[in-house]
Amino acid sequence: MRQVSDEQRYLDFTSETSLKVVGEYRRKYALISELLDGNNLILWLVHEDLEKLSTSREGREAKYTTENLFRALLVHQIEGTALRDTVIRISESSTLQTFIRLGSRPVMDFTFLNRCFKAISEQTWKMVNEELAGYATKTQGVDPSEVRVDSTVIETNIHYPTDSSLLWDSWRVLARFLRGVRDEAPVLCPHRFHDKKVKKDFVFVNRYIKSKAKRRQREVSRRFRRLLTNVLRLHGIGEGLRKELAGTGNLTLKALREELSHSLPLVKQVCEVAERVQFKGQSVPACERIFSIFEEHTELIKRGKARKPVEFGHAIWMAQTHEKFITDYEVMEQKQPDSELLDEITTRHKRLFKTYPDALAADRGFRSRPEEMATIHQRVPTLAVPTRGRSSKPKLDVHWHHFRAGIEGSISVLKRAYRLSVCVYRGFKSFAAAVGMAVFCHNLVSLVPKPSSG
């Protein structure tokens, strides 16, 4: 059983300081703490997920409250540190211990903190953000009548995918699982694995695949075929073991069978794509490919940027007010064109705030067909979306152009300060949850009034 929060408040023993930067740091966390105390429903929403981590059958009280764990995750996000470094920073900072309301308890382990993050679903983070948005509009002076909208791409934590590198990843993963089976039951897997030979083929192919010399290209083709054959051999062994291990009572073998069941279809897809491209000369569309066997949900996205023609991750859109408060966001598992998003954005805005916005600003990519724009314009009096290409119509008002550009800075802050340039968490659910946590922390910090320069 886990308590939501401690009934007793611990004393703050942080000493006075004359350093301005330290004072501002403490003030920031004190004001964030007041914001969280002003909306207890947020804590209860998170409590429903974190309660699942309490596994005591005897009903023993958990060591940490939901408030302790939730605030520790917020420190992890706001400080922009890894979970290991977050735990160290909390243990060495009386300010952070006071914010988390740790009291006399030791700091939680970073692995447990990771389990806490995994326990909070992306739907919970969305409800938490909606609750904070409602609270901010009522008590913090946030005005949602005028919003700006933009989309961006957050990348997954993968290397640049090539057919040869995906085959090498497939070999490494399958060989690791098969070795695990061999260690547990040598009779079931008497096979040998030649990692060094396979890696030599991968390195040669990766190094010389763009060579124009015909002799070298023949050697690349021969080695690529051997690399593919070796991976297919492991795939066949894995399929046989998966069937043999069905119904096993050994927990280790059962876990390895589950891992094989997940990985074998992905490896098969990698092999089929590699054969079609390298030996049949076919052009395989992105929808039929996978770009990582570790992050199979990864999507290839082209946005026409000169420095980054393709990105591997997921697209998100967000809506923001004048006060830089992000009122709504969505992580798209499959990217939708920006021109199809305005209807959903305005509908969701009405659901959140009971009315459509008075003004909505977006870039030209959000402009859809004239009849659809006319329908949206009936809901939103001021629809500041420029026309595509050269047009004889008057240009967009400078005020709305500058207003829309303000969201670019917030996207940059999310990527730099809140670690959304590359999402380090595995799986799409954790990917979406990480975005929700970053948006929530961004909004909390944005509601903290800036200290006066004097």
User: Beta strands of 189-309 (E only): which ranges?
Assistant: 299-302
Q: What is the pLDDT along the chain (454 residues), one digit of tens a residue?
A: 777 877 666 656 566 666 788 888 999 999 999 999 988 899 999 998 998 887 666 667 788 899 999 999 999 999 999 999 999 999 999 999 999 998 888 999 999 999 999 999 999 999 999 999 999 999 888 999 999 999 999 999 999 999 999 999 999 999 999 999 999 999 998 888 889 999 999 999 999 999 999 999 999 999 999 999 999 999 999 999 999 998 888 899 999 999 999 999 999 999 999 999 999 989 999 989 999 999 999 999 998 787 888 999 999 999 999 999 999 999 999 999 999 999 999 999 999 999 999 999 999 899 989 899 999 999 999 998 988 765 545 455 788 888 999 999 999 999 999 999 999 999 999 999 999 999 999 999 999 887 765 4
Report phi then psi at 67, rounded to 5: -65, -45
Residue 186 three-state SS: coil
Measured between alpha carbons, how far is 448 from 327 in angstroms, rounded to an integer? Answer: 16
Instruction: Check: CB of residue 100 under 8 Å from CB of residue 68.
Output: yes
Name the one residue in this structure whose structure tokens are 């396979």: 198
219 residue type, one letter: E
CB atoms within 10 A of CB 303: 15
Instruction: Check: CB of residue 349 under 8 Å from CB of residue 328.
Output: yes
Measured between alpha carbons, how far is 385 from 367 in angstroms, rounded to an integer? Answer: 6
Report percent pLDDT > 70 for the chain: 94
Closest to 425 in 3D by CA, of 74, 54, 157, 136: 157
Residue 442 three-state SS: helix
State which fold the 123-158+297-447 domain adopts.
Nucleotidyltransferase; domain 5 (3.30.420)
How far, in whole angstroms, is CA 368 from its chain's centroid? 28
pLDDT of res. 392: 44
Q: Buried b / exposed e across 330-360, counting CB within 10 Å, b at 16+?
A: bbbeebeebbebbeebbebbeebbeebbebb
Measured between alpha carbons, how far is 102 from 91 in angstroms, rounded to an integer? Answer: 10
Planar angle of CA 130, 333, 154, nearest 5 degrees: 80
Closest to 362 in 3D by CA, of 352, 376, 351: 376
Give the burial class of 249: count Cβ atoms within 10 A of its Cβ; 0-12 exposed, 13-18 middle, 19 or more buried.
exposed
Region of residue 276 (left: phi > 0; alpha: psi -120 to 50; beta: else)? alpha
Instruction: Check: CB of residue 346 under 8 Å from CB of residue 356.
Output: yes
Instruction: Check: CB of residue 444 under 8 Å from CB of residue 74.
Output: yes
Which helix (H) or strand (E) is 148 found in, with range?
strand 146-156
Measured between alpha carbons, how far is 131 from 121 in angstroms, rounded to an integer? Answer: 15
Which residues of the chain does CATH 3.30.420.10 include?
123-158+297-447
